[in-house]
């Protein structure tokens, strides 16, 4: 360590303009270096300033042309004219403000901006009007994003400017070339504009896009220039932040009080993934959410792969390709991919490298940053999973696959895409894919759903640059669309369920009535007349009572009792002691029952009289003559009806239905895991069924009958497509004629599969 001369200890003496940097008494001419640094920096950012003003003019003109109201159009045109008129003044004020900062820095004055001009938005907002608040928010957000993106070069600049400033420790606000100074200098220059806050916010956005996003190169060259001139030529960087790559989009949200990011040590220092080489990280920093565990596993796998790659050979020669160049290349590819639907992930990566060579003649001498290349590979794996995902219909896969390039841009600009399950771009793709699981051409006859998916994809391809709010807007619009479809489908499903339940209840009632009557008749020899009464009108009475009151109700049992009495009274071989009053009471019950099922009055009188005469005759009660040629049916003949060939006899069909349905239920059922799967199914599960011709059908389990246990399936419109017994569905699953479609979000399934694949690959490599 050098001991300063005594004359330097005089606090009243002006600071020397030279600084000793080693024991050989070499010195730096700080004033000269600061002046040249300032000039060099202004020269480096001049093309970006020009691009900013060119873009600003075009943007305001386009917005004016697309304005929906005259007021908006006037606002944009007035803003465009005001900017054109004061472009030179704004440029001069911006440069002068930066020069003034350097002058103040030389004098040791580090508070470059007046306190009242730098409102702290965390303070008393009541003293700030709405427009000032909006502008302050835009300024603070822009500074935060830039400071996060350029952490490493800013770290080096603060070290070097601290030396040039006499050793005082600098923070982000006191760095002459820092985002704080640049953004506030710009903010002062646009105060000369007589325009609306909406125009100013557009200016900040374009300033971010054209100048802030391109600071990687100027910062790199200034650091190199100062290092070459002996200002901290070797700096040990804080490698907890991503290296290189330039501007990467939005800064993470502020941490809640007491929250600590997962990749933070007790000391507060953030660290990269375990085992990662110096400067390597695909994990975002400063997160304030639960990081996706699958992405953590992938990050660790990539870090291990990077270590292995470094062990196999030296790091690629040349400088990394600038992030701005990567994004520009992707933007050009994004335009062409708007119409090209047949690009595989591998083809896109190849075209990206070709586009980089087109944009930069020296691209062959450079290499893609290792972390950036891993992100490119990860996005490729994600979309490879998408196009191979059997849960998605092929037509949907082809549409969503076109999103690979814009999602690659998102991932490179903002690595929270994979880490944060609530990232807007991630949520949109998850919702798109989940909603598409049940889609089929038959369930979308007007093409409304496929048109919506296509329109969202086209909007992203044509409009996405770096504004994640686009994904929030599209997601909100998609959810409204899906909610409307869901409401219509729910109404249709309800109707289908009610109709099916009604049929199930009728079938159950019919089966119960048939069982009751078969049991009653099997113990008695009855004439055809009585048999026909029981199996025709009285069966309807029992069915009606079952539907109205249930099998265990008093009303239903009352009419069962009538059937039992009638069979006893009508069997010549069964002797009972009844009176005329008993018979009249029975006939009254018979007549009331027929009225319930709306038998015509003349027919009721005829059947009642005929039945009364027969019962009175065989029970010794005088009631007139009966037909001596009446045929009787023996008990065993009741069930034999079901063994005959079907005919038009209503009686035979009724018996056949109950007997045959019982036989079907008694069929031996194979018991295995597939039966357990069916037993534990939840309503809402989607299936894909395949018929013998190989044609597929997608259907959702909408309802499980509480009566028969049958499963009702509907399409995406809520219309019935089939029903199946549990045993039948288990057989379909067993025979691969049906398969369950997963409705886990696409990102979760894809990252889980990728993490598992990388783990298996790593284990194979270690085994070899």
Candidates 440, 439, 442, 429; CA nearest to 401 is: 429
How confident is the model over 130-140, as pLDDT tens digits? 677 778 888 98
pLDDT for 310: 56
Position 483 pLDDT exceeds 90 = yes
Q: What is the pLDDT of residue 24?
A: 41
Which pLDDT tens digit goes with each residue over 308-322?
A: 665 555 556 567 787
- Summarised one tens digit per residue, pLDDT across range 365-374 is 777 888 888 9
pLDDT value of position 767:
59
Any residues with CB less than 8 A from the CB of 337 and at least 6 apart, and which? Answer: 343, 348, 402, 404, 405, 461
Handedness of CA 326, 329, 335, 339 (dihedral sign): negative
Provide mean pLDDT across the span 601-607: 90
Q: How many C-alpha atoms does 659 have within 13 Å on its Cβ side?
A: 17
Q: Residue 324 and residue 48: Cα distance in Å, rounded?
A: 12
CA–CA distances in Å: residue 275 to residues 301, 310, 313, 765: 10, 12, 17, 17
pLDDT of residue 631: 56
CA neighbor of 56 nearest in space, from 162, 157, 172, 204? 204
Averaging pLDDT over each range in 100-109, 229-238, 415-424, which range is the top one?
A: 415-424
Are 336 and 404 in contact, with CB atoms under 8 Å apart?
no
Does residue 632 have a pLDDT over 60? no
When mean pLDDT is compared across 155-159, 483-487, 747-751, the lowest value belongs to 155-159
pLDDT of residue 26: 45
Over 50: is that where the pLDDT of 237 sits?
A: no
Count of CB atoms situated within 10 Å of the CB of 497: 17
The H or E element spanning position 701 is: strand 696-704
Pairwise CA distance, residues 644 & 656, whole Å: 9
Taking residue 377's Cβ as centre, other Cβ atoms within 10 Å add up to 16
Residue 116 has pLDDT above 70, yes or no: no
Read off the pLDDT of each residue in 645-663 and give the average, rounded to a whole number: 50
- 498 has pLDDT over 70: yes
Task: With H, G, I as helix, E, B as strand and everything else as coil, classify residue 464.
Answer: coil
Q: Give Rg (Cα) of the chain.
A: 42
Alpha-carbon gap, residue 429 to 400, rounded angstroms:
8
Single out the residue of 425, 429, 431 nearest to residue 469, CA to CA. Answer: 425
Residue range(s) in the chain whose domain bears CATH number 2.30.30: 669-749
pLDDT in tens, 661-674: 544 444 455 678 89
**DSSP secondary structure of 367-433:** B--HHHHHHHHHHHHHHHHHHH-TTS-HHHHHHHGGGHHHHHHHHHH-THHHH-TT-HHHHHHHHHH
Q: Cα(90)–Cα(742) distance, rounded to whole angstroms?
A: 57
* Helix axes 404-413 and 345-359, enclosed angle (nearest 10): 60
Selected residue with higher pLDDT from 359 and 663: 359
pLDDT at 578: 80
Is the pLDDT at 249 greater than 50, yes or no?
Answer: no
Confidence of residue 300 (pLDDT cuts 50, 70, 90): confident
Q: Is 739 helix (H, G, I), strand (E, B) or coil?
A: strand
Position 280 confidence tier, pLDDT thresholds 50, 70, 90: low
Percent of residues, the chain, with pLDDT higher than 90: 35
HSE at residue 373, side-chain half, CA atoms within 13 A, is 15
Which of the 8 DSSP states describes residue 442?
G
Those residues with Cβ within 8 angstroms of residue 212's Cβ, 6 or more apart along the chain or in another chain = 142, 145, 146, 179, 182, 183, 247
How many angstroms from the chain centroid is the CA of residue 361? 40
Mean pLDDT of 556-572: 91
Strand residues in 83-226 grouped as ranges (E):
none
- CB 319, CB 360: distance < 8 Å: no
- Give which of 179, 252, 247, 237 is closest to 217, Cα–Cα: 247
What rounded mean pLDDT belongs to the chain? 80
To which H or E segment does residue 327 belong? helix 323-337
Separation of alpha carbons 327 and 331, rounded Å:
6
Angle, alpha carbons 412-416-419 (nearest 5°): 120
Most confident of the ranges 62-66, 115-119, 232-236 = 62-66
Confidence of residue 182 (pLDDT cuts 50, 70, 90): very high
Average pLDDT over residues 607-629: 74
**Confidence check: pLDDT of 254 > 90:** no
- The DSSP bridge partners found for residue 704 are 711
Which position has the higher pLDDT, 698 or 521? Answer: 698
Strand partners, 690: 696
Q: Could you give the CA distance from residue 658 to residue 522 in angstroms, rounded to a whole number?
A: 14
Ramachandran bin of 275, using left for φ above 0, alpha for ψ from -120 to 50, beta for the remaining angles: left
Distance, in Å, from the CA atom of 432 to the CA atom of 400, rounded to the nearest integer, reads 8
CA distance 392 to 483: 20
Q: Do residues 176 and 162 touch, judged by C-beta distance below 8 A?
A: no
Q: What is the phi/psi pair of residue 152, to 5°?
A: -70, -50
pLDDT confidence of residue 633: 55
pLDDT of residue 133: 75
Query: Which residues are registered as beta bridge partners of 740?
Result: 687
Strands 27-29 and 18-20: antiparallel
Ramachandran bin of 685, using left for φ above 0, alpha for ψ from -120 to 50, beta for the remaining angles: beta
Give the HSE-up count for residue 514: Cα atoms under 13 Å, Cβ half-sphere: 22
**Which range, of 119-128, 180-189, 451-460, 712-721, averages the lowest pLDDT?**
119-128
User: Which of the four pLDDT bands, split at 50, 70 and 90, describes residue 536?
Assistant: confident
Contacts 24+ apart (CB under 8 A), 482-487: 482/431, 482/435, 485/448, 485/449, 485/716
State the pLDDT confidence band at 21, using cuts at 50, 70 and 90.
very low
Residue 433 CA to residue 390 CA, distance in Å, equals 11
Nearest-angstrom CA–CA distance, 699 and 732: 14
DSSP string, 680-694: T--TT-EEEEE-TTS
Choose among 595, 580, 539, 581: nearest CA to 562. 539
Rounded-to-10 torsion of CA 212, 218, 224, 230:
-90
* CATH (residue range 669-749): 2.30.30
* Cα 654 to Cα 642: distance, rounded to the nearest angstrom: 9
Cα distance between residue 251 and residue 148, in whole Å = 6
> Smallest Cα–Cα separation from 301: which of 768, 715, 766, 761?
761
- Residue 704: the pLDDT is 95
Rounded Cα gap, residues 617 and 72, in angstroms: 100
CA distances from 722 to 667, 695, 707, 741 (A): 21, 15, 17, 17
Residue 300 vs residue 711, higher pLDDT: 711
Q: Is 90 exceeded by the pLDDT of residue 752?
A: yes
* Residue 181's pLDDT band (cuts 50, 70, 90): very high
Cβ atoms of 110 and 171 within 8 Å: the answer is no
Residue 667's CB is within 10 A of a number of other CB atoms, namely 8
Mean pLDDT, residues 9-30 taken together: 47
CA atoms within 13 A on the CB side of 524: 23
Spatial CA neighbour of 437 closest among 741, 749, 744:
741
DSSP state of 289: S
In angstroms, the Cα distances linking 62 to 76, 486, 739 are 9, 38, 51
Give how far Cα 725 sits from Cα of 354, 497, 659, 676, 738, Å: 57, 16, 18, 14, 14
- CA 97, CA 112: separation in Å to the nearest integer? 9
Average pLDDT over residues 249-272: 36
Spatial distance between the Cα atoms of 366 and 703, rounded to a whole number of angstroms: 61
pLDDT band at 591 (very low <50, low <70, confident <90, very high): very high
Mean pLDDT for 591-598 is: 91
Identify the residue with better confidence: 593 or 111.
593
Q: How many CA atoms lie within 13 A of 321 on its CB side?
A: 27
d(Cα 649, Cα 62) in Å, to the nearest integer? 80
| Residue 477, C-beta contacts closer than 8 angstroms, at least 6 positions apart | 456
């Amino acid at each position: 360590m050098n001991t300063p001369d005594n004359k330097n200890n005089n606090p009243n003496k002006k600071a020397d303009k030279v600084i000793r940097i080693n024991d050989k008494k070499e010195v730096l001419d700080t004033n000269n270096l600061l002046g040249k640094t300032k000039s060099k920096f202004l020269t480096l950012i001049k093309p970006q300033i020009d691009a900013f003003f060119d873009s600003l003019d075009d943007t305001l003109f386009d917005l004016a042309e697309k304005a929906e109201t005259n007021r908006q159009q006037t606002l944009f045109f007035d803003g465009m004219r005001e900017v054109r008129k004061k472009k030179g003044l704004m440029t001069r004020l911006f440069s002068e403000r930066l020069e003034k900062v350097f002058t103040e820095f030389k004098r040791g004055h580090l508070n470059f901006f007046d306190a009242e001009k730098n409102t702290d938005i965390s303070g008393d907002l009541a003293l700030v009007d709405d427009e000032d608040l909006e502008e302050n928010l835009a300024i603070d957000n822009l500074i935060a994003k830039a400071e996060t993106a350029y952490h490493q070069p800013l770290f080096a600049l603060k070290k070097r400017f601290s030396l040039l400033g006499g050793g005082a420790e600098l923070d982000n606000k006191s760095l002459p070339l820092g985002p704080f100074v640049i953004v506030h200098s710009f903010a002062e220059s646009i105060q000369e504009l007589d325009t609306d806050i909406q125009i100013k916010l557009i200016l900040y956005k374009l300033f971010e896009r054209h100048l802030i996003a391109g600071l990687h190169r100027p910062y790199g060259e200034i650091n190199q220039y100062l290092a070459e001139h002996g200002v901290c030529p070797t700096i040990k960087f804080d490698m907890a932040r991503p290296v290189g790559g330039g501007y990467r989009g939005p800064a993470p949200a502020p941490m809640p009080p007491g929250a600590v990011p997962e990749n933070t040590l007790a000391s507060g220092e953030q660290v990269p993934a375990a085992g990662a080489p110096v400067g390597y990280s695909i994990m975002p920093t400063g997160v304030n959410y639960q990081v996706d565990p699958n992405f953590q596993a992938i990050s660790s796998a990539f870090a291990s792969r990077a270590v292995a790659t470094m062990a196999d050979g030296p790091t690629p020669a040349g400088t990394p390709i600038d992030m701005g160049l990567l994004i520009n290349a992707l933007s050009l590819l994004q335009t062409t991919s708007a119409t090209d639907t047949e690009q595989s992930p591998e083809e896109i990566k190849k075209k990206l490298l070709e586009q980089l060579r087109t944009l930069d003649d020296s691209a062959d001498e450079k290499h893609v940053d290792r972390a950036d290349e891993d992100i490119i590979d990860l996005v490729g794996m994600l979309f490879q999973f998408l196009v191979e995902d059997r849960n998605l219909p092929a037509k949907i896969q082809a549409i969503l696959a076109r999103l690979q390039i814009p999602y690659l841009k998102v991932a490179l600009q903002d690595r929270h895409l994979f880490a944060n399950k609530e990232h807007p771009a991630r949520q949109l793709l998850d919702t798109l894919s989940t909603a598409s699981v049940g889609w089929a051409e038959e369930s979308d006859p007007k093409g409304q759903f496929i048109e919506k998916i296509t329109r969202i994809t086209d909007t992203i391809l044509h409009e996405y640059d770096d504004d994640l709010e686009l994904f929030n807007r599209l997601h909100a619009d998609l959810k409204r669309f899906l909610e409307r479809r869901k409401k219509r489908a729910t109404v249709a499903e309800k109707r289908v369920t009610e109709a099916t339940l009604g049929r199930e209840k009728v079938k159950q009632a019919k089966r119960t009535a048939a069982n009751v009557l078969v049991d009653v008749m099997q113990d008695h020899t009855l004439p055809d007349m009585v048999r026909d009464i029981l199996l025709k009108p009285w069966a309807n009475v029992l069915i009606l009572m079952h539907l109205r009151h249930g099998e265990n109700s008093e009303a239903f049992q009352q009419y069962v009792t009538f059937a039992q009495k009638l069979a006893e009274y009508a069997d010549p071989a069964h002797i009972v002691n009844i009176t005329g009053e008993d018979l009249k009471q029975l006939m009254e019950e018979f007549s009331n029952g027929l009225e319930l099922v709306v038998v015509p009055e003349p027919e009721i009188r005829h059947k009642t009289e005929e039945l009364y005469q027969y019962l009175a005759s065989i029970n010794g009660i005088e009631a007139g003559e009966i037909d001596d040629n009446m045929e009787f049916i023996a008990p065993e003949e009741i069930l034999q009806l079901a063994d005959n060939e079907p005919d038009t006899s209503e009686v035979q069909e009724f018996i056949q239905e109950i007997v045959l349905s019982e036989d079907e239920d008694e069929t031996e059922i194979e018991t295995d895991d597939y039966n357990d799967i069916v037993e534990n199914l939840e309503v809402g599960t989607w299936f894909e069924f395949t018929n013998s011709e190989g044609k597929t059908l997608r259907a959702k389990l909408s309802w499980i009958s509480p009566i028969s246990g049958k499963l009702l399936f509907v399409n995406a419109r809520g219309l019935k497509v089939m029903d199946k017994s549990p045993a039948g569905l288990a057989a379909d699953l067993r025979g691969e004629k049906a398969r369950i479609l997963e409705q886990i979000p696409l990102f979760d399934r894809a990252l889980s599969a990728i993490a598992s694949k990388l783990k298996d690959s790593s284990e194979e490599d270690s085994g070899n």
